Amino acid sequence: MEYLGKFLPRTNRIRCSAHYRFIRNKGKRRHTQNFIVYTHFSGNGPARLGLTVSRKVGRAVTRNRVKRLLREFFRLHHSLMAPGLDISIVAKPGAALLDYWQVCEELMFLTRHQTIEKSS
């Protein structure tokens, strides 16, 4: 397990739009009250996170706050996630009203290996 400091290293981020499209097309989708979560197993590398927070969520300050909350959740729970898991999270407008603990409650299913089936 690699150490995640106060930021996410490049190896833990999904950065290419083609990777986002692949995860959304081939992965599993799960709706929560404030997020749409796409997951796909890519192999044996580290778990990776990609975020999409549109202007429907709010102004720039609000969108950046939502992204910080999601990155912090990933950073602190990274070691509990399955290796090779790619996660793409799309925030819904209600995400702007959440605090950190509500984000954790809503996304904690990502830390349980048995609830996320590997896609073929």
List, for residues 19-31, the tens digit of each pLDDT value: 999 999 999 999 9
Q: What is the dihedral of CA 60, 105, 3, 48, to 10 degrees?
A: -60
DSSP 22-73: HHHHHSEEEE-SSEEEEEEE-SSS--EEEEE--TTT-SHHHHHHHHHHHHHH
**Do residues 37 and 78 touch, judged by C-beta distance below 8 A?**
no
List, for residues 36-60, the tens digit of each pLDDT value: 999 999 887 889 999 999 999 999 9
What pTM value is reported for the model?
0.87
Does CATH place domain 13-112 in 3.40.140.10? Answer: no
List, for residues 61-107, the tens digit of each pLDDT value: 999 999 999 999 999 998 899 889 999 999 999 999 999 999 999 99
Element housing 19 (H / E): helix 17-26
